Structure 1
Amino acid sequence: MKFTKMQGCGNDYVYINCFDETVSAPAELARKISDRHFGIGSDGLVLITPSQNADCCMRMFNPDGSESEMCGNAIRCVAKYVYDRNIIHKKQIAIETLAGIKFITVNTDENDTARTLTVDMGAPITEATEIPVIANASPVKDLSLSAHGRDFTFTCVSMGNPHAVTFINDDVSLFDVERFGSVFEKDNHFPHKANIEFVNVLSPTHLKMRVWERGTGETLACGTGTCATVAAACLNGISPHEAVKVDLLGGQLIIEWNMEDGHIYMTGPAEFTFDGEYYYG
């Protein structure tokens, strides 16, 4: 089975072109292929499949085999894949996900190669029951949770998948994300678990974030988490509704919550790493 390894801000996945290949047991394959010692090694598996509702469909599986609704870094890579390999060669691409159809603008260089991609991530969801999170009011901006003797205040947002964002004074570069993220991910307030973002405010238009992703652990970047982080910053009056830079372990994304249409737009890179064959059977 042919595959392609790609990354967006260090968020690396194995991509399979299901226009040509067939994957019968994606959850099992994701567990095997994601293993960084006995498999290819990745943050998960992404299937690029035909769609009756959009230009193509993206299905994403975590290393534990669970299927996620959406991944902002992965969808940029899918758009680059289908554009650069002439499967869908147009500057506006519609990709179906479990979180709905997302629209991507391809930004090319002088050689007509996709360099950065802007994703219309849609409107952030702030209603507690739709995120979902167990809370008394919406939007959820003051969810108090504790772990290892420390108290944190979370703002909860869904970008098609649940996120809980906390702004901390500790230097996030040194913060023990695994110790706290692994606890909060499975907190009873989150019926479907949650992705956990720990954030430093460098300025109103410049944030620094690390993320603990449900079903995966800490990753170098999370596109939906970056969008949720900026949404949380806007909801709390920290950031304006304009372009905000977010520094991640794997690079930088530019996020804007546009108040004209209420949508969040994410711009960032996507890169090919290598192609290969996996003996799948």
Structure 2
Amino acid sequence: MKFYKYYANGNDFVIFSADKKADRSELAKIVCNRYKGIGADGLVVLLPHKDYDFEWEFYNKDGSTASMCGNASRAVAHFAHYIKGMDVKLRFLTSAGVIEAEIEKDFVEVNLGQIKYTKKAFEFDNKTWQECDSGVPHLVHFCENLDAFDKKTCEFLRKKYNANVNYAEIINKNSIKVRTFERGVEDETLACGTGMAACFYLAFLKKMVQNEVKIIPKSKEEVFFRFQKDCIYFKGKVRYCFEANYNFS
């Protein structure tokens, strides 16, 4: 079975296309395994759709599903254009809604749409946290230094609130640094698109940043966010790594 390996801003994905929907949780566990499989943070399946360019299924490496993944949305748009021959402007369906994408060489910008909700801030462990759903739920804490990132705290909050957990450091009005603990991966990842979007949106609401920012995740690879007409746009480079025939025997 042929798979395509993609890399986007610290996250890697295995992508392929199929004719119909199915439960591919076990397949995700197999191909995302970094020792016995191809190795990835997630599996993306591109499916035909009568109203949009395509629909996707997204699986985390543990086989669980997620409504949205920002970096995966950019990777699958690149795949749809360069591998499947689709247009440079795309509209595709996810569980979080319709995503619009535009490809320019190896840079892909996606319109993540409107923030689903924000909740009232709360205190935990002498830190202020706020929940924001940017496609999936995220808890955000603004800190003075990202060295404050504490994995035990992240694990506790992730289970208690069933949300991803982010620490954000405001560098200036135009740049933010972010570290994210992701559910489904159950560890800190090198980047998280929806996590960065949640951090950007809350920082913008608090007037800590302008409506266009550069964000630097743990991968150190810069990506760009902007807020326009109530929507969040996310742009960055995507890398098509290789294709492989996986042997299941």
Both proteins in one fold, TM over 0.5: yes
- 1:119 — aligned with what? 110
CA spacing shift, 1:65–1:86, aligned 2, 3 Å: closer
- Work out which of the residue numbers 197, 205, 225 in structure 1 matches 2:195: 225
**What is the aligned partner in structure 2 of residue 168 from structure 1?**
143
The structural deviation recorded for 1:145 is 2.0
Between the aligned residues of both structures, percent identity stands at: 28
How far apart are the structure 1 equivalents of 2:151 and 2:63?
A: 20
Q: Which residue does 1:4 correspond to in 2?
A: 4
* Contact 2:74 2:110 (C-alpha < 8 Å) held by counterparts: yes
Q: Could you say if the C-alpha distance between residues 39 and 252 of structure 1 is closer, same or farther in structure 2, counting changes exceeding 3 Å?
A: same
Output the CA distance in 1 between the equivalents of 2:213 and 2:69.
19
Measured after TM superposition, the shift of residue 73 of structure 1 is 0.5
- Once the two structures are superposed, what CA deviation does each residue of 1:105-154 show, in whole Å capped at 9, x if it has no partner? 111xxxxxx311111111112354xxxxxxxxxxx2x22123xxxx2211
Kindly state the Cα deviation for residue 36 of structure 1 after the two structures are TM-superposed. Answer: 1.4
Output the TM-score relative to the length of structure 2.
Answer: 0.93
Distance between the aligned counterparts of 2:101 and 2:201, measured in 1?
A: 19
Partner residue of 2:152?
179
Alignment of 1:63-142 (within 5 A): 63-88=61-86, 90-107=87-104, 114-128=105-119, 140=120, 142=121
Q: 1:274 aligns with which of 238, 242, 248?
A: 242
Answering whether residue 5 of structure 2 is matched by residue 32 of structure 1, we say no
- Name the CA shift for 1:25/1:280 in 2 (closer, same or farther; >3 Å): farther
Do 1:35 and 1:41's aligned partners in 2 also have CA atoms closer than 8 Å?
yes
Distance 2:153 2:55 in 1: 34
Aligned amino acid, residue 264 of structure 1: I
Distance 1:119 1:23 in 2: 24
TM-score for both structures, normalised by structure 1: 0.83
Match of 2:38, as an amino acid?
I
Residue from 197, 215, 222 that aligns with 1:246: 215
**Which residue is equivalent to 1:111?**
none
Q: Determine the C-alpha separation between the residues in 1 that align with 2:23 and 2:57.
A: 13
Unaligned runs of 5+ in 2: none
Distance 1:57 1:255 in 2: 24
Shift of the alpha carbon at 1:180? 2.2
- Alpha-carbon offset, residue 75 of structure 1: 0.8
- Which of residues 201, 205, 209 is equivalent to 1:235? 205
Structure 1 residues not aligned, in runs of 5+: 108-113, 129-139
Aligned partner of 2:231 in structure 1 is 263
CA distance in structure 2 between the partners assigned to 1:154 and 1:8 by the alignment? 27
CA-to-aligned-CA distance 1:7-59 (integer Å, 9 cap, x gap): 1012001111225xx78541111112212122221101111111223101121
Q: Output the aligned Cα RMSD.
A: 1.7
Alpha-carbon shift at residue 177 of structure 1 (Å): 4.2
How far does the alpha carbon of each residue in 1:199-239 deviate from its partner, in whole angstroms, 9 at most, with x for none? 11111211000101111121111111111110010122211
CA deviation map 1:164-206 (0-9, x unaligned): 1111123x1x44442221111112xx2xx10111111111211
Q: How many residues align?
A: 247
SS at match of 2:194: helix
